[in-house]
Amino acid sequence: MTCVVQITGGKDVGKTALAERVIRRLKEGGYTVVAIKVSHHDPEPPTKDTRRLREAGADRVLFYNGEIYVLYTRAVSCGDIDADYVVLEGLRDRKVGYKIHIGPDPPPDADLVLTTPNEEVEIRCVKKEICEVLAQVSQHKPKNL
């Protein structure tokens, strides 16, 4: 079981800033953390080589710049993610973990509502099987990709 913290809110309200703060606090506590960003944007512009390799049909593309690796893949298995915490940014219409909403019009299932990402936050653990989290994430089907 993994602890899941979910952050939702409208565009430009500070979701990523809050996710950064939560991740830093968890890391200071000695926890392993996986961040999942759910978006309707493609992660790479069409002109980038990694995108071209993906579009050519590669099952996975591994990018390395001498410091970090980025793995582009169309499928993730439950065994690929092993962490004490998952910090999930997105999926406003679903409750996947301890749900923190930033900004106006909070969903009724929000556990905590903030007006800004700088407010103090108590990080709570909602335990989920990672397969359940990935199933919720994989149901996100943006129309413009």
30 burial (CB, 10 Å; 0-12 / 13-18 / 19+) is: exposed
Spell out the alpha helix ranges (H) of the chain: 15-28, 49-55, 130-138
pTM confidence score? 0.86
**5-18: average pLDDT:** 93
Identify the band that residue 18 occupies on the pLDDT scale cut at 50, 70 and 90.
very high
- Average confidence score pLDDT of the chain: 89
Q: Are 38 and 130 in contact (CB under 8 A)?
A: no
Q: pLDDT class for 142, splitting at 50, 70, 90? A: low
Domain 2-40+78-138 has CATH 3.40.50: yes
SS3 40: coil
Structure confidence by residue, pLDDT tens digits, 50-92 = 888 988 989 889 999 999 998 888 888 888 888 999 999 999 8
